[in-house]
Structure 1
């Protein structure tokens, strides 16, 4: 049984880590870098759904809690 030593061991570990990186790129990194394709798919699949109609328990539809409030025009 031959064991990797020195340079061959470093090449083996580098190739193994590189293989894992190449395998995970299209699964994990690519969607985080460019989400436009997934946004397009989501828009297409949800175009006939009214969120107010399917909201459970008459709960308010989610809004951004950090959004700026609209100023009153009465002042």
Structure 2
């Protein structure tokens, strides 16, 4: 039994969207779900970099931009 023209269009469109999804999975989705591999690579490549030395303007290496103010009661 032959598929109607609309059914072939739906199959083609579904296949195309599925292909794009399968192509993007290892590039965009997988790194977001499991970042441990990238953290390991980053730790290895930045091993010999002294962040204190290259930080501009005597700024601290990292500070919490949403730092909470300590109240006087504490």
Decide: shared fold, TM above 0.5.
Answer: yes
Is the counterpart of residue 19 in structure 1 residue 27 in structure 2? Answer: no
Deviations 1:2-22 (A, max 9, x none): xx8221111000000000001
**So what's the TM-score if we normalise by structure 1?**
0.76
TM-score by length of 2: 0.77
**What is residue 64 of structure 1 aligned with on the other side?**
64
Q: What is the CA–CA distance in structure 2 between the aligned matches of 1:36 and 1:67, rounded to whole Å?
A: 26
Matched, 1:5 2:1: no
Misfit runs of 4+, over 3 Å: 65-69
Which 5+ residue runs of structure 1 have no aligned equivalent? 70-75
Count the aligned residue pairs.
Answer: 68
For the residues of structure 2 that align with 1:23 and 1:35, how far apart are their CA atoms? 19
CA RMSD of aligned residues (A): 2.2
Q: Where does structure 2 lack aligned partners over 5 or more consecutive residues?
A: 70-74
Task: Look up the SS of the partner of 1:6 in the other structure.
Answer: helix
